[in-house]
A and B are shown apart, each in its own frame.
Chain A
Amino acid sequence: MSDASGYKLRELLPAKIDSLPGVLRSELKQHDPNGALGHVWTHLGSTAADKMADELDVDLFEVLAHGWGVARELREYADPAKHPPGKRAVVYAGKHKFTTAVHPTVEITVEGYPARTLRFTLELVATFKTIALGIENGRIVDAGAGTGEVSAQLKYANEPLHPAVVSQPVNLSGRVKFKAPGIAIRDAATD
Chain B
Amino acid sequence: MAAVALGGSLLLVGGLAARVAQKRVKLHHALENAIVTARLGSIEVSAVPDGFALQAPVVQLRITINPGASAMDGELPVIRTEVRHE
Using a CB–CB cutoff of 8 Å, the interface residues on chain A facing chain B are 36-37, 39-40, 43-44, 47-48, 51-52, 54-56, 58, 63, 66-74, 83, 86-111, 121, 136, 188, 191
Contact = CB atoms under 8 A, between A and B. Distances in A.
Main secondary structure of the interface of A (DSSP, over half): mixed
Given A86-B85, A87-B85, A88-B84, A71 B68 contact: no
Among A51, A70, A83, A90, chain B packs the most CB atoms within 10 A around the CB of A51
Contacts of B58: 110-111
B70 A70 contact: yes
Interface residues of B, number: 42
Contact of B75 (A63, A72, A106, A107): A72
Among A68, A83, A105, chain B packs the most CB atoms within 10 A around the CB of A105
Interface in B56-86: 56-86
B76 A96 contact: yes
Nearest to A67: B70
A103 to B, nearest CB: 5
B63 A101 contact: no
A87 B86 contact: yes
Contacts of A121: 68
A109 B60 contact: yes
Given A48-B63, A107-B61, A111-B56, A188 B76 contact: no
A37 B70 contact: no
Nearest to A109: B60
Interface in B36-68: 42-43, 45, 54, 56-68
A74 B76 contact: yes
Contact of A104 (B56, B59, B63, B71): B63
Among B59, B67, B76, B81, chain A packs the most CB atoms within 10 A around the CB of B76
B20 interface: yes
A160 to B, nearest CB: 16
Contacts of B24: 36-37, 39-40
A44 B31 contact: yes
A101 B68 contact: yes
A91 B78 CA distance: 7
The 7 closest A-B pairs by CB, nearest first: A101-B68, A71-B76, A100-B70, A94-B77, A97-B73, A109-B60, A191-B69
A188 B74 contact: no
A92 B63 contact: no
Contacts of A70: 70-72
17 contacts: A37-B23, A43-B31, A47-B45, A51-B45, A52-B63, A73-B78, A88-B84, A91-B78, A92-B80, A93-B79, A94-B77, A94-B78, A98-B73, A102-B67, A102-B68, A107-B63, A188-B72
